[in-house]
Structure 1
Amino acid sequence: MSVDELEGQIAEWRAYTHRRRELHNTDVEELEDHLRSRISELTEAGLRADEAFLIAVKRMGSLDELSREFAREHSERLWKQLVLPAEPDTPAATRSRRELIVMVLCAAAAALAVKAPALFGQDMAGDGDVFYARNASLFALPALSVYFAWQRRVSPRVIGVLALLFAVGAVAANAYPLDEDSQSLILSAIHLPLALWLVVGIAYVGGDWRSDRRRMDFIRFTGEWLIYFVLIGLGGGVLMAFTAGTFRAIGLNAEEFISQWLLPCGAAAAVVVAAWLVEAKQSVIENMAPVLTRVFTPLFAATLLAFLVAIIWTTNGIDVERDVLIIFDLLLVVVLGLLLYAISARDLTARPGLFDHVQLALVVSALIIDALVLLAITGRITEWGFSPNKTAALGENLILLTNLAWSAWLFLSFVRGRAPFARLEHWQTRYLVVYAAWAWTVVLAFPLIFNFT
Structure 2
Amino acid sequence: MTVTNEPDELEGQFAQWRDYVRRRPELAASDADELEDHLRNSVDELTAIGLRSDEAFLVAVKRMGGLDELSREFAREHSERLWKQLMFTGDPVKASPQRRDLAAMLVCAAGAAVSVKAPELFGQRYEGEGTFYDTNLALFALPWLAAFLAWRRRASIKVYGVLAALFVLGAVGANVYPVGDESQSVALTASHLPIALWLVVGIAYIADDLRSSRRRMDFIRFSGEWFVYFVLIALGGGVLIAFLGGTFEAIGRYPETLIWQWVVPCGATAAVVVAGWLVEAKQGVIENIAPVLTRLFTPLFAVALLAFLVAVGWNGSGIEVDRDTLVMFDLLLAVVLGLLLYSMSARDPLAPRGTFDFLQLALVASALIIDALVLYTMTGRIAEYGTTPNNVAALGENIVLLVNLAWSAWLLLGFVRRRRAFAVIERWQTAYLPVYAVWMWAVVLLLPPIFHYR
Aligned to 1:28: 32
Aligned to 1:96: 98
Aligned to 1:82: 86
Aligned to 1:219: 220
TM-score (norm 1): 0.96
Q: Match of 2:420, as an amino acid?
A: A
- Structure 1 alignment gaps of length 5 or more: none
How far off is 1:8 after superposition?
4.9
TM-score (norm 2): 0.96
Contact 2:25 2:283 in 1 (8 A): no
Aligned to 2:143: 142
How far off is 1:208 after superposition?
3.6
Q: How does 1:140-289 map to 2 (within 5 A)?
A: 140-206=141-207, 208-289=209-290
Aligned to 1:386: 387
| C-alpha distance 125-427 of structure 1, shift in aligned 2 (>3 A) | closer
How far off is 1:207 after superposition?
6.2
Q: Match of 2:170, as an amino acid?
A: G
Once the two structures are superposed, what CA deviation does each residue of 1:287-317 show, in whole Å capped at 9, x if it has no partner? 1111000000000000001111111111222
Which deviates the most, 355-364 or 13-22? 13-22
Contact 1:85 1:96 in 2 (8 A): no
Contact 1:23 1:67 in 2 (8 A): yes
Q: Match of 1:98, as an amino acid?
A: R
Q: Which runs of 4+ in 1 moved over 6 A?
A: none
SS at 2:235 equivalent: helix
Which deviates the most, 61-70 or 219-228? 61-70
Q: Match of 1:346, as an amino acid?
A: R
Report the Cα distance in structure 1 between the residues aligned to 2:128 and 2:73, rounded to whole angstroms.
57
Contact 1:81 1:284 in 2 (8 A): no
Q: Match of 2:65, as an amino acid?
A: G
Report the Cα distance in structure 2 between the residues aligned to 1:85 and 1:12, rounded to whole angstroms.
30
- Structure 2 alignment gaps of length 5 or more: none
Contact 1:22 1:77 in 2 (8 A): no
Report the Cα distance in structure 2 between the residues aligned to 1:243 and 1:136, rounded to whole angstroms.
25
Aligned to 1:341: 342
Once the two structures are superposed, what CA deviation does each residue of 1:113-168 show, in whole Å capped at 9, x if it has no partner? 111000000012532x4100010111001111111121111111111111111111
Aligned to 2:124: 122
Count the aligned residue pairs.
Answer: 450
SS at 2:171 equivalent: helix
SS at 1:101 equivalent: helix
Contact 1:297 1:359 in 2 (8 A): yes
- 1:38 equivalenced with 2:47 (yes/no): no
Report the Cα distance in structure 1 between the residues aligned to 2:230 and 2:307, rounded to whole angstroms.
32
Contact 2:154 2:208 in 1 (8 A): no
Contact 1:371 1:401 in 2 (8 A): yes
How far off is 1:347 after superposition?
1.1
Aligned to 2:448: 447
Contact 2:88 2:99 in 1 (8 A): no
Report the Cα distance in structure 1 between the residues aligned to 2:261 and 2:52, rounded to whole angstroms.
70
Report the Cα distance in structure 2 between the residues aligned to 1:237 and 1:438, rounded to whole angstroms.
34
Once the two structures are superposed, what CA deviation does each residue of 1:88-123 show, in whole Å capped at 9, x if it has no partner? 3335x2x21111111101000100111100000001
| C-alpha distance 5-421 of structure 1, shift in aligned 2 (>3 A) | closer
Report the Cα distance in structure 2 between the residues aligned to 1:224 and 1:370, rounded to whole angstroms.
27
Contact 2:84 2:90 in 1 (8 A): no
How far off is 1:210 after superposition?
2.4
The sequence identity of aligned pairs, in percent, is 65
Say what the alpha-carbon RMSD is for the aligned residues: 1.6
